[in-house]
Chain A
């Protein structure tokens, strides 16, 4: 490979270090009006009236709209591809502004003025009267008899969704019956049981760029919204739904964005922004919310509680598990229905239970911040529950957590009930490498029988993560390539750069397939739904996989068109030609001695539990995978023609003028699992409740890496996010549903002083599903960090911390309770 697999520098790095890269708010016009959202100051109830008369007199105020003015249209906000089947469509449960108040801070009015001071002054003069109901902030309150339904037309019992999955014999029999069967097989005295209740916290994404947009009505009548979003094409559809306007009259532009982490995989205030510019006669209106609004009025990660039970044998064989999990979904559905299923699925699939697993997950509407997509989509919660349970089993049964996982984790060739299969399986090899790197055996031994106030521990956790959303939902992506007069090319996509390095890896892929060097591949970073081909955007760690296939397919077609033209110019068959480093060359047979033997690649991984597969046996055969058909086969011979000369001729030839472009849609019907683990070595100062991470290692099998340096950077960020999740982050509410720490001072994301050096290990197994052997990487790094830290604290102190975050206060309380301090 010429470009793929190399640590090419980011194509956007220069623009970002010079401050010249433009983000949504940097692009707004000078004459932009400013909008401010007015939020409810009760957590549950109804707006009876809003008197705007005094507020409207404030100099500079242009327009005030209230929940009584907006269209009577409820719309969904989840950033999913639309489903043509009504049963699978996202839940439409909010209006642009809501008369029915469902959380403290619900959006009830908006003020547009010439400046933010006028907005603030006007807000203070609004006279708002409410009818107030009891807040239902927690899951228990929302499920209690007599609780006010937040969405009576949709859910009378506040249950957004209940999902129940069963595997193995637990599909037929219940846990107690499985226990009886196991008693007959193993003897009742050989069976042990473990129960547990594990809780994770509600957290905020804390992308450093605020949620921001600005909108105007263009001369052609289109409402045009420039937004900080991960999903421009989905946003266009949702704005259309929210306004009741046709999709063609909506245009969304997505420039560079300052992080998203799933919050911007939701439609936030853009439909309201579009409505406000229309309400102001099409004048440009900016709507940038504050950090405080960003924390509680956008989306959060679901806080969950998992009640679990496990049956296992005295020699460490997992027999059956059950989980009853409850997620606090907040006031609106957002992605809650899909995340529920994600939590239930991964808890069930991560380990193999002889008699199977029952996994029940319930997401509940409450009057608190809406929970939605956040990096790894419910899986960090599911793995926290699953891997706390495993280490509690190990502590009770006297098993080594590494060996127990080796014996009981998901196995090679695993195929999920929906058909997703572990083709390149390396869970156990990841564990071996991580254990070796941290010195697992020596440390477990050294840390036995510690006394005193300061103790050391080592812990681990594992994860699996599917790539993209097929077959649960649609995976489709388009790519366009255009040849320039100098033999360079443009790549146009609607897969979005959100900081993860998408533009760079697509540049590498396009270069790999076309033979045009990366410095001459110009990727268009900005998406404009009027110009950019369709793709659903950045989520589900899908883009290098799903969009990568589109780039590969498009590259093959583009290459073919170039070679056809070269064939015409050189009067030689196209099959004899190839493009190499911006030149048309003679194509020589591949040098057998340098050809990579797949078997040799696997020989690097002697311990990998890998079953060879025939490409023909894969779900969609060879064609849709493109693994062996897309790469350039052959090696370059004599250079015959420069791409620049070819392009000039193609553009301007008087005999055959041809503007060489290619555009394809790739409907991706493949999936695979990425996997890996975290290992942590730490020191706990018990009287201070202080945890110092000495070493933390993430091991990842994400298939072949397109850009190793960027892949490593991506893992660093996920690990840091996992450390914050473990030790410090929690969005707090009082009993009335009022947020207590909705700012970056009191909501503690890690600073550079809170993060140790971050170690990464990659196993680059070739996955047959990925366009270049690659699998998901964006989200996985966050998943297994918090349970690994929790399990290391358990190893150090013998204290099982069952609730995140493990703050000094919680730790000290737990150590006191156990009489350790």
Chain B
């Protein structure tokens, strides 16, 4: 059964008819063509479909679209500036070679954006915990942590690693 939902996706108001059983993952991918939101498991194990809902990182596969009424959704497509410049965390991922196959990348970047929104800094150990919900099989997380540290880590002189 379809129902009408209103939500903001990457700053734009969307009015959609969706199946009430639909996950936010399916709505974003299939109806809005926001394919940065990746499906790696569909059951909240891998973190590849992470998006921000009102600034909070959630697995879109576990989030019913109907719950998003009136909420602001941010996906990786919404991060670039209008003139195409990368967000600092995106640039850090490029510079630190934190990207390999790239499938877990958008989800990790969204968690990093959530951390950036908290207005604080993190130790490397704290960052390990913050991204423990994301599985990556390519990088061993080393360069991902390096990229995160660049943007939300403590500077070295303040006791950062």
Q: Which residues of A contact B (CB under 8 A)?
A: 7, 9-10, 12-23, 25-26, 117, 205-210, 256-259, 261, 288, 290-291, 498-501, 709-710, 712-714, 716-721, 743-745, 749-753, 755, 757-758
A-side binding surface: helix, strand, loop or mixed?
loop
Residue from B79, B127, B133, B136 in contact with A208 in the complex, judged by beta carbons closer than 8 Å: B136
- Verify B86–A17 contact, CB threshold 8 A: yes
Kindly list chain B residues whose C-beta atoms are within 8 Å of the C-beta of A20.
36, 77
- Verify A291–B94 contact, CB threshold 8 A: no
Closest to B106 in A: A19
Q: A210-B39, A753-B129, A755-B140 are in contact. Are A18 and B80 (CB under 8 A)?
A: yes
Interface pick from B41-49, B52-60, B114-122, B150-158: B41-49
- Verify B105–A16 contact, CB threshold 8 A: yes
- Report the separation of the CA atoms of residues A15 and B97 in the bound assembly, to the nearest whole angstrom: 13
Count of chain B residues with a beta carbon within 8 Å of a chain A beta carbon: 54
- Report the separation of the CA atoms of residues A716 and B135 in the bound assembly, to the nearest whole angstrom: 15
- Report the separation of the CA atoms of residues A716 and B96 in the bound assembly, to the nearest whole angstrom: 13
- Minimum CB–CB distance for B11 against chain A, Å: 16
- Verify B93–A22 contact, CB threshold 8 A: no
Closest to B133 in A: A751
Kindly list chain A residues whose C-beta atoms are within 8 Å of the C-beta of B129.
752-753
- Report the separation of the CA atoms of residues A12 and B94 in the bound assembly, to the nearest whole angstrom: 9
- Verify A716–B140 contact, CB threshold 8 A: yes
- Minimum CB–CB distance for A115 against chain B, Å: 9
A–B complex contacts, Cβ < 8 Å, 5 sampled: A9-B95, A18-B90, A19-B76, A209-B40, A718-B140
- Minimum CB–CB distance for B18 against chain A, Å: 13
B139-151 Cβ-contact flags toward A at 8 Å (1 or 0)? 1111111000000
- Verify A717–B144 contact, CB threshold 8 A: no
- Verify B128–A752 contact, CB threshold 8 A: yes
- Verify A716–B143 contact, CB threshold 8 A: yes
- Report the separation of the CA atoms of residues A71 and B109 in the bound assembly, to the nearest whole angstrom: 46
Kindly list chain A residues whose C-beta atoms are within 8 Å of the C-beta of B94.
9-10, 13-14, 17
Residue from A17, A208, A500, A757 in contact with B46 in the complex, judged by beta carbons closer than 8 Å: A208
Closest to B147 in A: A17
Residue from A15, A16, A256, A716 in contact with B139 in the complex, judged by beta carbons closer than 8 Å: A716
Kindly list chain B residues whose C-beta atoms are within 8 Å of the C-beta of A7.
97
- Minimum CB–CB distance for B46 against chain A, Å: 6
Kindly list chain B residues whose C-beta atoms are within 8 Å of the C-beta of A25.
35, 39
Kindly list chain B residues whose C-beta atoms are within 8 Å of the C-beta of A749.
135, 137
Residue from A10, A256, A290, A757 in contact with B97 in the complex, judged by beta carbons closer than 8 Å: A10
Task: Please report which residues of chain B, range 74-128, place their CB below 8 angstroms from some CB of chain A when the two chains form the complex.
Answer: 75-77, 79-80, 86, 90-91, 93-95, 97, 99-106, 109, 127-128
- Minimum CB–CB distance for B130 against chain A, Å: 8
- Report the separation of the CA atoms of residues A721 and B64 in the bound assembly, to the nearest whole angstrom: 33
Q: Does B138 contact A (CB under 8 A)?
A: yes
Q: Which residues of B contact A (CB under 8 A)?
A: 21, 29, 34-43, 45-46, 48, 75-77, 79-80, 86, 90-91, 93-95, 97, 99-106, 109, 127-129, 131-145
Kindly list chain A residues whose C-beta atoms are within 8 Å of the C-beta of B131.
751-752
Kindly list chain A residues whose C-beta atoms are within 8 Å of the C-beta of B142.
713, 716, 755, 757-758
- Verify A258–B102 contact, CB threshold 8 A: yes
Closest to A261 in B: B137
- Verify B40–A19 contact, CB threshold 8 A: no
- Verify B102–A21 contact, CB threshold 8 A: yes
- Report the separation of the CA atoms of residues A210 and B46 in the bound assembly, to the nearest whole angstrom: 11
- Report the separation of the CA atoms of residues A709 and B96 in the bound assembly, to the nearest whole angstrom: 8
- Report the separation of the CA atoms of residues A605 and B123 in the bound assembly, to the nearest whole angstrom: 38
- Minimum CB–CB distance for A562 against chain B, Å: 31
- Verify A259–B39 contact, CB threshold 8 A: no
- Minimum CB–CB distance for A705 against chain B, Å: 13
- Verify A209–B99 contact, CB threshold 8 A: no
Q: A10-B97, A13-B94, A499-B138 are in contact. Are A210 and B105 (CB under 8 A)?
A: no
- Report the separation of the CA atoms of residues A26 and B103 in the bound assembly, to the nearest whole angstrom: 12
- Verify B40–A208 contact, CB threshold 8 A: yes
- Verify B40–A721 contact, CB threshold 8 A: no
- Verify A19–B36 contact, CB threshold 8 A: yes
Q: A713-B139, A743-B45 are in contact. Are A751 and B40 (CB under 8 A)?
A: no
- Report the separation of the CA atoms of residues A719 and B132 in the bound assembly, to the nearest whole angstrom: 18
Residue from B36, B102, B134 in contact with A499 in the complex, judged by beta carbons closer than 8 Å: B102
- Minimum CB–CB distance for A297 against chain B, Å: 15
- Verify A758–B35 contact, CB threshold 8 A: no
- Report the separation of the CA atoms of residues A720 and B45 in the bound assembly, to the nearest whole angstrom: 18
Closest to B76 in A: A19
- Minimum CB–CB distance for B20 against chain A, Å: 12
- Minimum CB–CB distance for A555 against chain B, Å: 25
- Verify B101–A258 contact, CB threshold 8 A: yes
- Verify B139–A717 contact, CB threshold 8 A: yes
Residue from A256, A500, A718, A752 in contact with B145 in the complex, judged by beta carbons closer than 8 Å: A752
Q: A717-B139, A753-B129, A753-B132 are in contact. Are A18 and B36 (CB under 8 A)?
A: yes
